[in-house]
Structure 1
Amino acid sequence: MRLNDLDERIVHALAEDARRSYADIGSLVGLSAPAVKRRVDRLRADGVITGFTVRVDPGAMGWETEGFIEIHARSNTSPETIKRGLARYPEVASASTVTGEADAIVQVFASDMRHFERVLERIAGEPFVERTKSVLVLSPLLRRFSSGAPA
């Protein structure tokens, strides 16, 4: 489903702050609060908006170390197999199949270097993994969490 400009602006406003009121969003996009609510309800029903969440600083939760692991899978490994294998790790923040030499890239948060190393070793030991390559984040430079076109 392709969103129209008004729906994109509503989604963007919610992505910036999901606690924003319908009246506040309405003032941004030129609609009444009930009209915004109807559109949000429709976007949820259509599966465009899949939920509302809170963003937490990983460091505040004790996750001080961040890294990325490239996974080179054994031949004939499906993306679903990789997904099922990685879903068991609470340290995995995201995982995606990618182009290039690796088959997937995994974002991992850990409490410290030793914890990251243990997670890396466990992932490398999964039956579908042929080899891994990892990098550690020194300083995150830019993170964007919003969706939709800029308002």
Structure 2
Amino acid sequence: MTLDDIDSRIIRVLTTDGRASYGTIGAEVNLSAPAVKRRVDRLRARGVIAGFTVRVDPGATGWDTEAYVELFCNRRTSGEEILRRAQTYPEVVEAFTVTGDADALLHVFASDMHHFERVLSEISAEPFVARTRSVLVLSPLLRREFLTM
């Protein structure tokens, strides 16, 4: 779906404040509240807006340790198997199959280094994991919730 400038601006407002009223959005994009609602409904129906959620700061909840863990898997390990096991760890917030040397990449949060070490040890012990390589995040410099349109 091709987005026009108004759709892109509506998405930017919602990305900044998912609780913004249609009237508030309309004031930003020069449309009436009913016109904004129709556009948001259309964007939702077409799957451009997949849903609304709450964004939680992991550090504010005490999960200050962040890492990316590359998984090097045994042969014949499917993405579905990696996903099935990754979902059992609340510390894993994202999981991807990737190109390059690794087979998958996990985004992990933990409360401290001991917690991270325990989770990494458990992930490494999964039967399909041959080895792992971790990168700890020192300081997140940029996080975007949407693509620049």
Tell me, yes or no, if structure 1 residue 105 matches structure 2 residue 95: no
Query: How far apart are the structure 2 equivalents of 1:144 and 1:47?
Result: 19
CA distance, structure 2, for counterparts of residue 137 and residue 148 of structure 1: 24
CA contact (8 A) 1:11 1:148 kept: no
Tell me the residue number matched to 2:69: 69
The Cα shift of 1:64 comes to 1.5
State the distance in 1 between where 2:81 and 2:4 align. Answer: 36
Q: Which moved more, 1:25-34 or 1:140-149?
A: 140-149
Q: Secondary structure at the match of 2:27?
A: helix
Aligned length: 149
Do structure 1's residue 9 and structure 2's residue 22 form an aligned pair?
Answer: no
Corresponding residue number in structure 2 for 1:81: 81
TM-score by length of 1: 0.91
> Which residue number corresponds to residue 115 of structure 1?
115
CA RMSD of aligned residues (A): 1.4
Q: What does the per-residue CA deviation read over 1:16-44, in whole Å, with 9 as the maximum and x for residues that have no partner? A: 11011111211222211101101111222
Q: Comparing both chains, which one has the higher relative contact order based on Cα–Cα distances under 8 Å and sequence gaps of 6 or more? A: 1
Deviation readout 1:61-117 (Å, 9 max, x if unpaired): 110111110011111212111111101110011111111111111110001101101
Shift of 1:147: 4.2
Q: In structure 2, what residue type is equivalent to 1:81?
A: E
Paired AA for residue 132 in structure 2: T
User: Could you say what secondary structure the match of 1:99 adopts?
Assistant: coil
Unaligned runs of 5+ in 1: none
Paired amino acid for 2:62 = G
Q: Name the counterpart of 2:133.
A: 133
Distance 2:78 2:57 in 1: 32
Give the conservation status (yes or no) of the 8 Å contact 1:96–1:106: yes
Which consecutive unaligned segments of at least 5 residues does structure 2 have? Answer: none
Q: Matches of 1:89 and 1:145 in 2, distance apart?
A: 23
Q: Which residue in 2 is equivalent to 1:23? A: 23
Q: Give percent identity, aligned residues only.
A: 63
The whole-number CA distance in structure 2 between the counterparts of 1:4 and 1:97 is 32
State the alpha-carbon separation in 1 of the partners of residues 14 and 44 from structure 2.
12
4+ residue runs of structure 1 moved beyond 6 angstroms? Answer: none
Alignment-mate amino acid for residue 116 of structure 1: F
1:16–1:146 Cα contact (<8 Å) kept: no
SS in 1 for 2:82: helix
